[in-house]
């Protein structure tokens, strides 16, 4: 899972790019939540502080996630807090992050390690194609990119109704293959498959993925779909 506290992805990206995700129990501490939503402020503050004191090179850039397609390039704008679902930076030790509990944390990096991006991507993010929005910004830098999809809910546990399926197919008929029928009105949705399709469609061919499903591995990760968790684990990326 991790090597020296960092995710061992095995991609071709320069090793100056560091990726870290927290878990339900982290630093030998139970319930290592880092989301302020409906939880004790002091506890979360101390959890975040411990990350900076022990692993992260700087205070991370957190965002108010809204399940949209807004991506902020921190090289162009530096106002905190942010309301968005994606961040991009070229600056060293500028930590960018997302909080999740079933949605996909997606990291995109240039192979040379000069620029990084992190996205919070759920069903709505796929519908609004935040991936394409991010890659349009990244494309202006003229690098080759690879992507990694972090721990998230697998297709076996993500159920939607036929209206959701029809909305996706109305956007692109290719999405039909990412829905698996349970009955006339319920379908399993492969959100990771759609994310890979969108990445491929935007010329990112090398895509890596965590083996962890947040529902199956609910002992390791928070999952809203499994246990209505309001807590969140974090995914962080920076250029060292």
User: Which region among 132-136, 176-180, 228-232 has the lowest average model confidence (pLDDT)?
Assistant: 228-232
Each residue's pLDDT tens digit, 182-221: 787 999 999 999 999 999 999 999 999 999 999 999 999 9
Question: Distance between CA 151 and CA 144 in Å, rounded?
Answer: 24
Instruction: List the domain range (segments joined by +) for residue 121.
Output: 2-152+207-239
What burial class does residue 105 get, using C-beta atoms within 10 Å of its C-beta: 0-12 exposed, 13-18 middle, 19+ buried? buried
Phi, psi of 214 (to 5 degrees): -65, -25
CATH of the domain at 232: 3.60.140.10
Question: Distance between CA 85 and CA 70 in Å, rounded?
Answer: 6
For residue 38, tell me if it sits in a domain.
yes
Each residue's pLDDT tens digit, 148-165: 999 999 999 999 999 999
For residue 88, tell me if it sits in a domain.
yes
For residue 64, tell me if it sits in a domain.
yes
Question: For residue 44, what are its two tokens?
Answer: 């979360």
Q: pLDDT value at position 189?
A: 97
For residue 115, tell me if it sits in a domain.
yes
What is the domain count for the chain?
Answer: 1
For residue 106, tell me if it sits in a domain.
yes
Taking CA atoms, 231 is separated from 6, 128, 139, in Å, by 22, 25, 34
Q: pLDDT value at position 4?
A: 41
Q: pLDDT value at position 44?
A: 94
To 10 degrees, what angle do helices 191-201 and 130-139 make?
30
For residue 167, tell me if it sits in a domain.
no
Q: pLDDT value at position 5?
A: 54
Q: pLDDT value at position 37?
A: 78
If one counts every other C-beta atom within 10 angstroms of the C-beta of residue 136, the result is 11
Each residue's pLDDT tens digit, 52-111: 999 999 999 999 999 999 999 999 876 666 899 999 999 999 999 999 999 999 999 999
């Amino acid at each position: 899972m991790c090597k020296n506290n960092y995710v061992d992805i095995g991609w071709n990206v320069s090793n100056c790019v560091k990726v870290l995700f927290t878990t339900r129990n982290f630093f030998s501490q139970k319930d290592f939540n880092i989301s302020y939503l409906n939880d004790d402020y002091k506890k979360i503050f101390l959890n975040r502080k411990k990350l900076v004191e022990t692993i992260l090179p700087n205070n991370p850039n957190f965002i108010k996630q809204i399940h949209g397609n807004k991506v902020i390039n921190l090289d162009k704008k530096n106002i905190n807090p942010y309301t968005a679902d994606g961040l991009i930076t070229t600056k060293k030790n500028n930590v960018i992050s997302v909080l999740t509990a079933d949605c996909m944390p997606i990291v995109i990096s240039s192979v040379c390690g000069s620029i990084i991006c992190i996205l919070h991507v759920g069903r709505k993010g796929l519908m609004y194609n935040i991936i394409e929005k991010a890659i349009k910004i990244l494309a202006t830098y003229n690098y080759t990119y690879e992507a990694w999809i972090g721990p998230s809910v697998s297709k076996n546990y993500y159920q939607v109704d036929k209206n959701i399926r029809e909305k996706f197919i109305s956007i692109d008929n290719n999405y039909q293959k990412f829905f698996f029928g349970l009955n006339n009105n319920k379908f399993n949705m492969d959100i990771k498959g759609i994310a890979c399709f969108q990445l491929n469609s935007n010329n990112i061919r090398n895509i890596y993925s965590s083996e962890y499903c947040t529902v199956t591995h609910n002992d390791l990760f928070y999952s809203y779909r499994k246990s209505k968790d309001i807590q969140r684990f974090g995914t962080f990326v920076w250029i060292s």
